[in-house]
Amino acid sequence: MAESNDEIELSIADIRKLIEVIKNTYNYDFGNYALTAFKRRISKFLLNNNMYRIDELISKLSKDKSVYAKFLIDIRIEITELFRDPSFWRHFRDKTLQTLNHNYQKINIWIVNSSTGDEIFTLAIVLKECGLFEKTNIYATDLSEEILNRSKSGLFPISKLENSEANYKRFNEKGNFSDYYKADKNTFLMNGNLLTNTKFLTNDLTDNPLSKTIQVILSRNNFIYYNSILQDSITNVFHKCLALNGYLVLGIKESLIGSRDVKKFFVENENEKIFKKIDA
């Protein structure tokens, strides 16, 4: 395994060895993650933690749960800005939520892999501004309590603020994003009241984390990191969780084409990757 300036070379054997140790030690299987992206994240984790051999990481993971907790956080997919893809949020506000408001007295929305919390706070603001905050339950899930704690903290580096402000303005040019946070020199903190209707749950996407049907599943920019086997498995879970005519939202580079369950969904909006469940 050779070291470069910004990446550590990892063989397929290295990755398989790491996956096997994690599976045996922590009962979580990374085996169906897309190999290229997974290798890149592992390499970054090694460098960030001053490790240069996979065996160093394996040894520490095997002995120290705190290393595994940190590994899960760093290996996760991160949504980089609040209100990422403003055109999606406009459509979601003007079309999707209005349909749900007409059809349901209570709306349940599941945010998959809450990561740093960008999607949670964005959704809460959208719901506030269209008068559906009190009518909606948000369920945010991820692999570990550590990740969820970071999600719910609402604390972001100040470097994210400029793009988040610009995205918000493209979503609502008459609104004022500064109503929702307080900033200092290094960070900005989102208003904690935005989480009033959010419940945080650990979940590995192998089953329904809730005891109720869901009207919307937001799983944006997750599938691109999974192989087709895992995509099919997760899509099946999503289908079972969703109410009939409920919405599944993927990332703009993702699709259900090739999925075993593709015929159970109608393409509501191809550009924004919004799909509607049509087959029970």
Q: Judge whether residue 269 has pLDDT over 80.
A: yes
Going by their DSSP bridges, the two strands 107-112 and 242-250 should be labelled as unpaired
What band does 258 get if pLDDT is binned at 50, 70 and 90?
Answer: confident
Contact 277, 244 (CB under 8 A): yes
Q: Give the pLDDT mean for 4-28.
A: 87
pLDDT at 36 (0 to 100): 87
Q: What distance in Å separates the CA atoms of residue 278 and residue 243, rounded to the nearest whole number?
A: 9
Q: Give the pLDDT mean for 250-255.
A: 93
- Is this prediction's pTM over 0.85? yes
* Homologous superfamily (CATH) for 86-277: Vaccinia Virus protein VP39 (3.40.50.150)
Q: Where in the chain is the domain with CATH 3.40.50.150?
A: 86-277
Q: Which residue has the higher pLDDT, 181 or 40?
A: 181
Q: Judge whether residue 96 has pLDDT over 80.
A: yes
What band does 209 get if pLDDT is binned at 50, 70 and 90?
Answer: confident
What band does 79 get if pLDDT is binned at 50, 70 and 90?
Answer: low
What band does 207 get if pLDDT is binned at 50, 70 and 90?
Answer: confident
pLDDT at 1 (0 to 100): 43
pLDDT at 123 (0 to 100): 98
pLDDT at 202 (0 to 100): 93
Q: Which residues of 191-211 are buried (b: 16+ CB within 10 A; e: fewer)?
A: beebbebbebeebebeebbbe
Q: Average per-residue pLDDT in the chain? A: 92
pLDDT at 78 (0 to 100): 65
Contact 101, 127 (CB under 8 A): no
Contact 215, 243 (CB under 8 A): yes
Phi, psi at 225, each rounded to 5° = -100, 0
pLDDT in tens, 53-64: 999 999 999 999
pLDDT at 211 (0 to 100): 74
CA distances from 73 to 54, 114, 190, 192, 213 (A): 18, 11, 20, 22, 28
Q: Give the pLDDT mean for 218-242.
A: 93
pLDDT at 3 (0 to 100): 43
Q: Judge whether residue 216 has pLDDT over 80.
A: yes
pLDDT in tens, 126-179: 999 999 999 999 999 999 999 999 999 999 999 999 999 999 999 999 999 999
Q: What distance in Å separates the CA atoms of residue 101 and residue 106, rounded to the nearest whole number?
A: 8
